[in-house]
Amino acid sequence: MSCESPRNSLTKRSRRATRSSFATQLPPPYLNWEQLAEVLLATAGESTVQVRRSTYGSAADYLTNRQYEEIPLSAYLNELCDPDGEHQTMRYAGNVSLPVPLASRLDMTEFPLCRLSSEQWEPPAYWIGPTGSLTPLHKDSTPNLAYQIFGTKRWVVFPVRDIPFLRMSRPNPSEEMDFAVSEIAPSEFKELTAARFHPAVPLEFMLEAGDVLYLPAGWAHFVENRTTSVMVNRWMSRAAFRKLIPLV
């Protein structure tokens, strides 16, 4: 994981911490796309994935105009592999339920992420996207564990104390515990300067194949795939998080 952040030293410390706790049980990452695509195709090619537009021009777009389509994973992989295809840089299979045979084929069943109790954690999800596909700045209600299987993902994150400065709004205040999306447009994240989000201070880092990220609940994050990228993640369930922290 390489860092480019005003909080560089903090990032380096947290990298060591995540590495040491999981190091003995990490599944091997993939370094070759063709090899991984073959595994995805053979194990889950016939399952469907929910595909969304990969870029959102504005936060309003992300909040109210999400466009999804269900297609077979095999069709989506074809799009990704076809550099001239109509949808090549436009669609993102984000937050797709991880089929058990695929978890097993990726050597993830023994990985802590997949062994976590299913009462306390949401089922694992996988995210496959092309270079440039992104998720606008938002915050989730519960802690998140993410494992980068292939490629490079850029994260820009802000701790909870910065939330008041990030123009967050909650689309469904009654339904979601604390999910919120920022009005800050994805284009604002192209090049970070120390002053850009002042007084909020972004922490920016790349998650590379084989890296694990723990993101605490309520931390805002903007996420961008810097290459074709495959990640698996799990959020803690709301019920479990409420038990842990009764005030939320």
Ligand X SMILES: O=C(O)CCC(=O)C(=O)O
Q: Which residues bind ligand X (CB under 6 A)?
A: 94, 127, 135, 140, 144, 146, 153, 221, 223, 231, 233
Shortest Å distance, C-beta 34 to ligand X: 22
> Could you tell me the two tokens for 122?
């949401």
Intra-chain end-to-end CA distance of the chain, in Å: 32
Of 229, 211, 216, residue with least CA distance to 27: 211
Of 128, 156, 133, 161, residue with least CA distance to 215: 156
- The 10 Å CB-count burial string (b at 16+, else e) for 160-196 is eebbebbebeeeeeeeeebbbbbbbbbebbeebeeee
For ligand X, the closer CB: 4 or 214: 214
For ligand X, the closer CB: 62 or 127: 127
Shortest Å distance, C-beta 195 to ligand X: 25
Shortest Å distance, C-beta 116 to ligand X: 15
Shortest Å distance, C-beta 131 to ligand X: 13
Shortest Å distance, C-beta 146 to ligand X: 5
DSSP-based three-state secondary structure for 170: coil
CB-based contact 131:176 (threshold 8 Å): no
Which residue is at the shortest CB distance from ligand X? 135
111 contact partners, CB below 8 Å, separation of at least 6 = 25, 26, 27, 147
For ligand X, the closer CB: 53 or 153: 153
For ligand X, the closer CB: 146 or 184: 146
For ligand X, the closer CB: 42 or 248: 248
